[in-house]
Amino acid sequence: MSQPPMKEWQVERQIVDLSKERGNAKSRGLGPQPHDLTSLKGDFPMASDVQAAAPADVALSVRDLSVSLPEGMERAYAVEDISFDLKRGQILCIIGESGSGKSVTANAIMGLLPKAIRVSSGAIQLNGTNIVGLSLDKLRSLRGRVVSMIFQDPLSALNPLMTVGAQIEEVMAAHDVGTPKSRRSRAIDLLIEVGLPEPQLMYHQYPFRLSGGQRQRVMIAMALALEPAILIADEPTTALDVTTQAQILQLIRDIQRRKGMSVMFITHDFGVVAEIADYVVVMEKGHCVEQGSAEQVLKSPSHLYTRRLIAAVPHLTGKDRIALRPADRTSILKVECLAKTYRSGSSLFGRQRIVAAVNGVTFDLASGRTLGVVGESGSGKSSLGRLLIKLLDCDSGSILFEGRDIAALSEAEFRPLRPKIQMIFQDPFASLNPRSTVGQILTVGPVAHGMSCGEAAERARELLSHVGLDSGAFDRYPHEFSGGQRQRIGIARALMFKPKLLIADEAVSALDVSIQAQILKLLDQIQRETGVSMIFITHDLRVASQICDEIAVMHRGHIVEHGPPSQIFLDPKSTYTRELVAAIPGEQPANAPQHAANP
């Protein structure tokens, strides 16, 4: 629940260095011209200890870096004794799960650590200058000019009240670079460089008007404004759709090659590493457990953790899942021409905006099978899930559950049927009531449906141990658990009623890959034991290929393709599916490796 004290865009303000002398810079007007920028590099103030000058081909060198955490945190150091070199003109990937310290490392290099977290020992050499302990002013002159950063969430990293053009120019103005006129033309050049359509128009746009991918391109343009030698990218594609992710990765690689830049790329996704990395550093709980060339780390990992991590990465399987009970093919859910339209704005005052979220969706699910619904954000897949469980009311169409049309039922009529259809939610942090104990969360539903308290508690304890939690979890509050553990609680809650149909809405998207693999395995095991039917909604085709018997690809409210995984991944019929499959990072679908990790 805790919010970061600063919005990302405010941090970004720091990076692009809004120095107080902005006004002076404008009045002086005459700075070095943009094309002189390269000459600026390397002339930043020398720190006291230059004796350990790194070899000339190393742009960034981190030596024995330790960052201490305040007392009372779960460990004493955020990162401990990590060392690595970023060579000129290379892409270095730092990979690790949440809490591995990869973002702390990036922030230490930018000098953006929160006050309470300090670099306690070690050195960070930027072009041969140790920046640890450098004064704020000197750090500021480095930011943006020598090293620049792009963030995970481009919407919160851009100032919502400034136009795209103004934000790019601000970076240059803050460093006294160029005249207002030259800055403007440079901003437009940058917008062209990052591949934004109609740069003249884009220059005057506000961030909220752009798509996620366009915003990330603007962020990259800002980061490139001063031609930095080093670009740090902190999970820049994590918040993006898979096709957009592929484009942004391509863009970063192109720009890096064109400019000979050095890129430090932070990610949790081995697929992305396989796409982009020259050199890989694997981090676990603040330690660097393995590093080496991408080839070496990906093909023959030496450390146990790396091996486990790579094994946990879901891969596209061209193979179909072995059906549970091939004989039993009775239909449990039959959806016909389901439609839902969102209307925003009042019809009385002003214009209404109408978005068809789900449009004429038809499918049939046999009992004991899993249907994967895949699509990018805005495809309507989550709306579909909510319609099926009647958390949303549909506009038209029918939902036949065990032969009965539940679409037309009122909330009160449907309540007795609720136990049969249960849902596992996406966000393990938001989906559990923070003020209830796990026991209350699990038992409140069954008790409301007439189960006795004792019986419900007994079943809850049974299920907790079944999903891999200590039965002592019963009396604890959700905040005492990690994300993966909370998702297990969410699964236990859905199983309390012995449901016939489980709807998993992005149930593993918020989890680390190793946890993801465990949860997928648990779901698979539950299905084999109870014969429950599942609808698995996800944006990740790799995950879908692991657990689904059939896959429906959604695009703008329609199902564009429906079939077994072998057809979807190896022989996609629609263009959209083909694009989607081609965009999966780190996979060549035609010769997808048949990995041992398949459930």
Distance (Å, rounded) from C-alpha 276 to C-alpha 283? 18
Which of 28, 329, 343, 415 forms a contact with another protein (CB under 8 A)? Answer: 415
Q: How many alpha carbons fall within 13 Å on the CB side of residue 526?
A: 29
Which of these segments, 58-66, 267-275, 295-303, 440-448, binds another protein (CB under 8 A)? 440-448
Length of the chain: 599
Q: What are phi and psi of 291, to 5 degrees?
A: -145, 155
Distance (Å, rounded) from C-alpha 552 to C-alpha 587? 20
- Measured from the CB atom, the residue of 419 and 564 that comes closer to another protein is 419
Which of 435, 454, 529, 591 forms a contact with another protein (CB under 8 A)? Answer: 435
Give the shortest CB-395-to-another protein separation in angstroms: 17
Which of 432, 491, 507, 508 forms a contact with another protein (CB under 8 A)? Answer: 432
Which of 89, 445, 483, 563 forms a contact with another protein (CB under 8 A)? Answer: 445
Which of these segments, 36-44, 124-132, 156-164, 386-394, binds another protein (CB under 8 A)? 386-394
Give the shortest CB-116-to-another protein separation in angstroms: 4
- Measured from the CB atom, the residue of 179 and 341 that comes closer to another protein is 341
Give residues 45-84 in contact with another protein (rule: CB under 8 A).
70
Which of these segments, 194-202, 427-435, 552-560, 578-586, binds another protein (CB under 8 A)? 427-435
Give the shortest CB-340-to-another protein separation in angstroms: 16
Q: DSSP labels for 450-506?
A: T--HHHHHHHHHHHHHHTT--GGGGGS-GGGS-HHHHHHHHHHHHHTT--SEEEEES
Structure tokens belonging to residue 36: 């002189």
Distance (Å, rounded) from C-alpha 362 to C-alpha 371? 13
Distance (Å, rounded) from C-alpha 578 to C-alpha 505? 23
Helix-then-strand count for the chain, H and E = 23, 20
Which of 419, 439, 563, 599 forms a contact with another protein (CB under 8 A)? Answer: 419
- Measured from the CB atom, the residue of 206 and 497 that comes closer to another protein is 497
- Measured from the CB atom, the residue of 260 and 416 that comes closer to another protein is 416
What residues are paired with 284 via a beta bridge?
Answer: 287
434 binds another protein (CB under 8 A): yes
Structure tokens belonging to residue 70: 């305040």
Answer for the pair 67, 79: CB distance below 8 angstroms, yes or no.
yes
- Measured from the CB atom, the residue of 279 and 536 that comes closer to another protein is 536
Give the shortest CB-570-to-another protein separation in angstroms: 35
- Cα dihedral 124, 129, 134, 136 in deg (nearest 10): -100
Q: What are phi and psi of 349, to 5 degrees?
A: -110, 115
98 binds another protein (CB under 8 A): no
CA distance readout (Å), 551 to 359, 374, 492, 534:
18, 7, 25, 12
482-521 footprint of another protein as x/- string (CB under 8 A): --xx--x-x--xx-xx--------------------x---
Q: Which of 487, 442, 526, 435 is nearest to 451 (CA)?
A: 442
Answer for the pair 314, 378: CB distance below 8 angstroms, yes or no.
no
Which of 88, 308, 334, 418 forms a contact with another protein (CB under 8 A)? Answer: 418
102-141 footprint of another protein as x/- string (CB under 8 A): ------------xxx-------------------------
Which of 2, 48, 51, 410 forms a contact with another protein (CB under 8 A)? Answer: 2
Answer for the pair 231, 150: CB distance below 8 angstroms, yes or no.
yes
- Measured from the CB atom, the residue of 36 and 475 that comes closer to another protein is 475
548 binds another protein (CB under 8 A): no
28-37 CB burial, b ≥16 within 10 A, e <16: eeebeebeeb
Q: What are phi and psi of 371, to 5 degrees?
A: -105, 125
3-32 footprint of another protein as x/- string (CB under 8 A): x-x---------------------------
Give residues 166-225 in contact with another protein (rule: CB under 8 A).
none
Structure tokens belonging to residue 27: 């009045």
Helices 180-193 and 212-224, packing angle to 10 deg: 130
Instruction: Count residues near another protein (CB under 8 A).
Output: 51
Give the shortest CB-394-to-another protein separation in angstroms: 16
Which of 206, 342, 363, 477 forms a contact with another protein (CB under 8 A)? Answer: 477
Q: List all residues 6 or more positions away from 452 whose beta carbon is below 8 Å from its beta carbon.
A: none
Which of these segments, 131-139, 317-325, 412-420, 531-539, binds another protein (CB under 8 A)? 412-420
Which of these segments, 128-136, 271-279, 291-299, 411-419, binds another protein (CB under 8 A)? 411-419
Structure tokens belonging to residue 25: 């810079």
Structure tokens belonging to residue 453: 């308290």
Q: Which of 314, 322, 367 is nearest to 538 (CA)?
A: 314
Distance (Å, rounded) from C-alpha 471 to C-alpha 314? 30
Which of 84, 279, 425, 569 forms a contact with another protein (CB under 8 A)? Answer: 425
- Measured from the CB atom, the residue of 88 and 476 that comes closer to another protein is 476
Structure tokens belonging to residue 455: 């019986």
Residues at the interface with another protein (CB under 8 A) = 1-3, 5, 70, 114-116, 386, 389, 391, 415-416, 418-419, 422-423, 425-427, 430-436, 444-446, 448-449, 468-470, 472-473, 475-477, 480-481, 484-485, 488, 490, 493-494, 496-497, 518
